[in-house]
Amino acid sequence: MAKYGSDQVGFMLLGSYSMLGSTSKLEDTVELKLSQTDVLGTSDEQWWSSGARKTDLTQDGWFDDASNGHHEAFKGLPTTHLPLTIAPHGNAGGLAIDMYPSVGRVNYTVQVSVGDVHKAQSQYSINGGKKAGVIAFPLGTKVAAANTDSDDVTISATHPAGTGGGSTVLHVTELTGTPTNCTIKLRHSTDGITYADLTTFAAVTPANVAAGVASEYATIAGQINKWVSVAWAYTGGSAPTVTFTVGVHVTPAP
């Protein structure tokens, strides 16, 4: 059984917000919902489940008012739901991630005690559960328009990777220079040589990033091939750079 340490966590992103720098503890609980079904006259409890699951996520740590950080994400408890992605094993292509499609912010507590560092605790509402994915593009910064076809990621040990589709997530944490927008695509290949676009994310603008909402979770129908890469391009501006990550979930075969 593989073991991992807390120092191996690569990133935790809610929309464009980086939550990792203020986090000391994450608690992710998945509960199978049960209903008691025994009737009068029975001596033992009986339970039934529809298969529905509930996912809870709480975060403990330190008060941090850095730009696009924990406090910025939770102050005022915005009602906008955002995708959330956690990389528990590191920030490298092909490593496992947890992808949460739609996450609300429902509780934020700041704790101030004499002689202690200010602490903070936050609670999320998880809609749609979570998906087990892999990093298609590690969180990093790129400059001129290009792609990673020559530095692809293998998302499956067998081919084809998945005929039942899946999903993908994008988080953009920074867009610099003076571009009007940046468009990012997920690509795939059957042989690791020739690539075709699989999904085009909505264009990201500097205003989206500043507002913390430069992110997207999208479903993928049909075939997801064994090798994946990403491409990015800018509209207008000069000396642009973009910092982002892309994850992919492949629906397991039935």
* Statement to judge: residues 180 and 111 lie in one domain: no
Domain assignment present for 42: no
Task: Say how far apart CA 218 and CA 97 lie, in whole Å.
Answer: 16
Count of domains for the chain: 2
Q: Tokens for 245, please give them.
A: 């990550």
* Statement to judge: residues 122 and 195 lie in one domain: no
| Cis peptide leading into residue 83 (ω within 30°) | no
Q: What is the CATH number of the domain that holds 29?
A: 2.40.30
* Statement to judge: residues 116 and 164 lie in one domain: no
Provide the residue-wise pLDDT of the chain in tens; the chain has 254 residues.
688 889 899 999 999 999 998 899 999 998 888 898 888 988 898 988 888 888 899 999 999 888 889 999 999 999 999 999 999 999 999 999 999 999 999 999 999 999 999 999 999 999 999 999 999 999 999 999 999 999 999 987 655 566 788 999 999 999 998 889 999 999 999 889 999 999 999 999 999 999 999 999 999 998 899 999 999 999 987 889 999 999 999 988 76
* Statement to judge: residues 105 and 170 lie in one domain: no
* Statement to judge: residues 84 and 157 lie in one domain: no
Domain assignment present for 147: yes
Domain assignment present for 227: yes
Residue with tokens 């593989």: 2
Task: Say how far apart CA 167 and CA 96 lie, in whole Å.
Answer: 14
* Statement to judge: residues 168 and 84 lie in one domain: no
* Statement to judge: residues 235 and 142 lie in one domain: yes
Q: Beta partners for 82?
A: 103
Among 169, 167, 12, smallest CA distance to 83 is for 169
* Statement to judge: residues 18 and 112 lie in one domain: yes
Q: Spell out a b/e string for 179-195, using b for 16 or more CB atoms within 10 Å of the CB, else e.
A: bebbbbbbbbbeeeeeb
Domain that holds residue 204: 135-250
**Boundary-marking domain end, from 127, 148, 163:** 127
**Boundary-marking domain end, from 96, 127, 158:** 127
**Boundary-marking domain end, from 66, 100, 127:** 127
Q: What is the CATH number of the domain that holds 181?
A: 2.60.120
* Statement to judge: residues 110 and 16 lie in one domain: yes
* Statement to judge: residues 121 and 142 lie in one domain: no
Enter the pTM of the model.
0.92
* Statement to judge: residues 119 and 95 lie in one domain: yes
